[in-house]
Structure formats: C-alpha cells, structure tokens
Structure 1
Amino acid sequence: MHAADWYALHGKMPRLHVPAVFAVGQEIVLPEGPARHVTRVLRMGEGAPLVLFDGQGNEAGVRLADVGRKHTTAVIDAVWAGEGESPFAVHLGQAISKGDRMDYAIQKAVELGVAAITPLYTERGDVRLKGDREAKKLAHWQAVAASACEQSGRAVVPTVHSPLSLVEWLSARQEPLRLMLHLATGNAFDQPERPEAAALLIGPEGGLTETDIAAAQAADFTPLTLGPRVLRTETAPVVALTLLQHYFGDL
C-alpha cells in the first residue's frame, strides 16, 4: 500500500516522529512522548490509524494495537518513502536569539524545507551556551524541528547542529551559493543560475558587525537585502527561505 492509498482509506490523521526501522507486520512500541500524545491528548484507542515517520525519509501507516498505561504499541500495515523534501538544500546559519525567537526561526525554516541548521555565535549575539545548558538547548531545538516535520508533512528531520562560532561555520561551507542578509548593501536577489544547494547566514538582533561581514565576504558570501524595512532576526529566515524555495526549490 502506498501513501495515497493509505490516506484515501483512512483520511487525515496524526503524523508522529518515531526514530525506528519500519517493516510491514512489525509491532512497534511508541516512545513515551508520542504514546502520551495519541492516548491522552488525542484519546485514540485500539485500532485507530496514524502515520509514523522515522526522520530519515520513510513513513509507515500503522494501527494502534495495545493502548495501556505502561506502554502503547502499533502494528505497521504499510511503509513508503516520504515525499515532502525540497530538491534545493539550504543550510541555515542562524545567529542565536533569546526566548521563543530561536524556536520560531527553526520551526518556520523546517516548514520551508531547510536541509540543516547551525545556531551561530556572532559578535553582537548576547546568548552564550556552555556545557549542559548547550546540550539541553540543542535537544530542545531538535525537538522543535521534529515537531515542525510532523505538522508540515516532512519525513526527514533536518539536523540542528551544535552551535558554532561564525568563523567556524564559514570555514566549513562548500555550497555553491552563499548569501548573507545585510540591509545596508542594497543588493536585491538576482541569481539567474540554478544552484544545487545554498548556505544562508542570518545575523542577530542589531545585525552583523563589520568584522562578521568581512569574514563572510572572505568566505565568498554575497550580501543581500530583502527591501527597505528592517526584519527581525526570526522573520528574516522565513522571507529569505521563501525566496530561495520559490526560485530554486518547490514553492
């Protein structure tokens, strides 16, 4: 059975991220988070259908088999390849921002098909994470990305990499198209060729410093403006990724 057949048979249903190997006929124990969601939030019972995805591009149509207090299991009826990925791979370097702003940027970037995200420490950035605090934030951001995939229909969960300094991230870039948002340049988006991938740099509140800009330009990043209005650090990736997916991806 294919995805279209499963949805035609069962209609719209929840999608949950379960990192496991899928095989038809297999009984799978749902992790605590997804199990709690389907039983306590959605109040689904035995026999209820739902879709799981493994985060690596595969989806499975399943039926709940055993709904209990200690564990919830599901039987896999069908497995298919997910179809929600953009043909254009964008690696987003996002300056770390406070509070919910970083969550918003990651969530919307995933919805818009980003391939990978690296949180960045920049000169003007006022967030510095160390040790356990960094590990907890990284796990939280990866969970935000997985949740965005559940909502948006993606079967591949983009990796949120460990935070890096801007210089470290720039030195690792290999993408043929490299762009950074910088209001003062006046350079509008104009890229006639269709690259296979891109790196996109978004600065913090207050923008990139001259040192940041010089380092990015030395790494072959082209400054880009998105118009005369100043966009918030969490809004800028949404607009820029929309443009990139429109010109080179699947929007």
Structure 2
Amino acid sequence: MPRIHVDVPLAAGQSLALPPGAARHVQVLRLQPGAELTLFNGLGGEWTARIERIGRSDVQVVAETHHAVEREIGPAVTLVLGMPANDRMDTLVEKAVELGAFAIQPLMTERSVLRLAGDRAEKKRAHWQAIAVAACEQCGRNRVPAVAPVASLAGWWASSQPAAGEARWLLGFCSDAQAVAQRLRAGSVPPRLILLSGPEGGLAPAEVEAARAAGFLPTTLGPAVLRADTAPLAALAAVALHPGVAPMLAS
C-alpha cells in the first residue's frame, strides 16, 4: 500500500487533495478510485485513506482510520555534521532517516569543502528535508526528522545547550577515544544522543578542543578510516542494533 506524507492535520472523514508529487505517484501506479493509501503527517501514527477521485493532474482522497503506530528507535539521536560535498549529503540524509535519526544539523567547519549561505543554503536545506520525507515514506517511519538550517560550527556552539539526560559523542581518532561498543553497554543507552562528525579531512584541532569543552566524549568506530558520510551512519547503526535499545514498533 503506498505511503504518502501530507503536511496538514488529519481527521476521520476529512477529504483532501494530495500534494502534486504524490498525485503523480498515484497516477503512475495506475491506482483507481476506491484504492487504499496510507497517509501520515509527522504528528504521530498513520491513517488509512481511500482515493475518492483521480483527475488529470490531481488526486482527492478521504482519511478513514487512524492507527497509533510508531516505528522509532528508542533514543533520540541528532546528527551534527560537517557537510560532505557533492551528492554524498543527499545519501547521508536518506540513510540517516532510515536508521532512525531524530534530527540532522548540517554544519560548515574550518575544513568544509561545501560552503553554503543565503538562498542557496535554504534551497539545499529544503531539498534535504524533502529527501527526509521520501525516506520516511519508504521505510515506514511516521515522524519526519527535521533538517535544521545550515550553521557554522561556532554559531551552533552558541545556540546549543545540553539537555537533561543527553550524551554527546565526538566521532574521530582522538588518542583517548573509547569504542562505540564501550559507550553502548547494555542498559546504558542514553535517551538523547548527539553525534558530532567532521567533514572531509575531519575537524580542525581547535574545533576538537572546543567540542571537548562542550562535553563531547571522543568516540571511535574502529581502526579503519571512514568517509565523512560513512562514520555517522555507522554510529547510528550501532545504536539502532544495540541490545539496550528498545524500538517503538507497531503493536
């Protein structure tokens, strides 16, 4: 059954037009009036819906039954990362959503290759947010992770304050770094986790020291040198698969 995100409140019996991209998807699938769809709006759970009418360029559906289904990984993991260049950020956002990321904060750091500002930065953020929505449609998540506006590392430091129960990990090769497996002992998985990861070339020494001062614990993924778009995904996968994590699944 196709899953479609709609950015509006939903109620039983409500009739609404699907967004243009979703309408095209329904037409490509050659669905007919009466066919069922799944709608979700990111506010929790999902809705069974039925196609009422299919026009030349629009599709009208009616929401029927709400199902309180959640498919979130237990801890709320925020990725704070130096943006990799080219198309790697697109793939990173897609896979991070599939692996359960709660939010994504793109950063420009001292060694960042990708530099964004103004309208270009906002267009990229909107593009990445659309990728996050599409990934939720595909993987079954009913809560869409927010992709925050692009920020400088210094700007993010200034606006970020640790929350209660939050753990902060700095991914990298610091001499005193602990392995992810050590930090993820059974029963000690934090309810909130921020993963800070650098761009190509990593964080500069001064940025590493600033991260330590901000409470980030040096954490390693092993002896291999992982790409900037691989390291945060590997850490997310380790959290998602750890025995101490209790995912919220459909009942």
Q: Give TM-score scaled by structure 1 length.
A: 0.90
Secondary structure, aligned partner of 1:183:
coil
Aligned ranges 1:192-207 → 2 under 5 Å = 192=185, 193-207=188-202
Q: Is 1:74 matched up with 2:61? A: yes
Aligned equivalents of 1:167, 1:244: Cα separation in 2: 27
Q: Is 1:120 matched up with 2:101? A: no
Q: Which moved more, 1:199-208 or 1:179-188?
A: 179-188
Aligned equivalents of 1:68, 1:47: Cα separation in 2: 14
Aligned equivalents of 2:14, 2:33: Cα separation in 1: 16
Secondary structure, aligned partner of 2:237:
helix
Is the CA contact 2:76–2:102 (under 8 Å) kept in the aligned structure 1?
Answer: yes
Unaligned runs of 5+ in 1: 1-12
Secondary structure, aligned partner of 1:66:
strand
Partner of 1:187: 178
Tell me how far 1:58 sits from its aligned partner. Answer: 3.1
Tell me how far 1:167 sits from its aligned partner. Answer: 2.5
Q: Deviations over 1:102-161 (max 9, x none)?
A: 011111111111111100111100211121111110100000100110111100001000
Task: Please point out which of 98, 102, 111 is paired with 2:89.
Answer: 102
Stretches (4+) displaced over 4 A: none
Tell me how far 1:203 sits from its aligned partner. Answer: 0.6
Partner of 2:142: 155
Tell me how far 1:170 sits from its aligned partner. Answer: 3.3
AA matched with 1:216: A
Partner of 1:249: 245
Task: Please point out which of 47, 50, 66 is paired with 1:60.
Answer: 47
Is the CA contact 1:97–1:205 (under 8 Å) kept in the aligned structure 2?
Answer: yes
Partner of 1:218: 213
Aligned equivalents of 2:130, 2:57: Cα separation in 1: 23
Partner of 2:13: 25
- CA RMSD in angstroms comes to 1.5
Aligned equivalents of 2:114, 2:173: Cα separation in 1: 22
- Residue-pair matches, total: 238
Is the CA contact 2:4–2:137 (under 8 Å) kept in the aligned structure 1?
Answer: yes
Unaligned runs of 5+ in 2: none
Aligned ranges 1:84-103 → 2 under 5 Å = 84-103=71-90
Identity %: 45
